[in-house]
Amino acid sequence: MARPLIAIPARFSASASALRYAAEVSARQLIEGVYAAGGEPLVMHPDGSDVTDRLGWADGVLLPGGGDLSGRWSGQGSHPTLYDVDEEQDAFDLAVASFALSQGIPLLSICRGTQVVNVGRGGTLIQDMDSHDSQIKHHRHHVHDVTVEESRLRGIVGQGVEVSCYHHQCIDRLGSDLVVTARSEEGVIEAVEMPSASGFYVGVQWHPEADETSRLIASVVEEARVRRAESGRA
Name the residues annotated as catalytic: 111, 207, 209
Number of other residues whose CB lies within 10 A of the CB of residue 187: 11
Task: Name which of 191, 186, 206, 198 is nearest 223 in CA terms.
Answer: 198
Indicate the SS3 state at residue 193: strand
Under DSSP, is residue 142 helix (H, G, I), strand (E, B) or coil?
strand
Residue pair 181/154 in contact (Cβ under 8 Å)? The answer is yes
Q: Which long-range contacts (CB under 8 A, 24 or more apart) does 26-31 make?
A: 26/64, 27/64, 27/65, 27/209, 29/209, 29/210, 30/62, 30/64, 30/110, 30/209, 30/217
d(CA 195, CA 178): 7
Give phi and psi for 181, each to the nearest 5.
-120, -5
Burial 93-132 (b: 16+ CB within 10 A, else e): bbbbbebbbebebbbbbbbbbbbbbbbbbebbbbbbbeeb
- Amino acid, single-letter form, for residue 40: E
d(CA 203, CA 116) in angstroms, rounded, equals 10
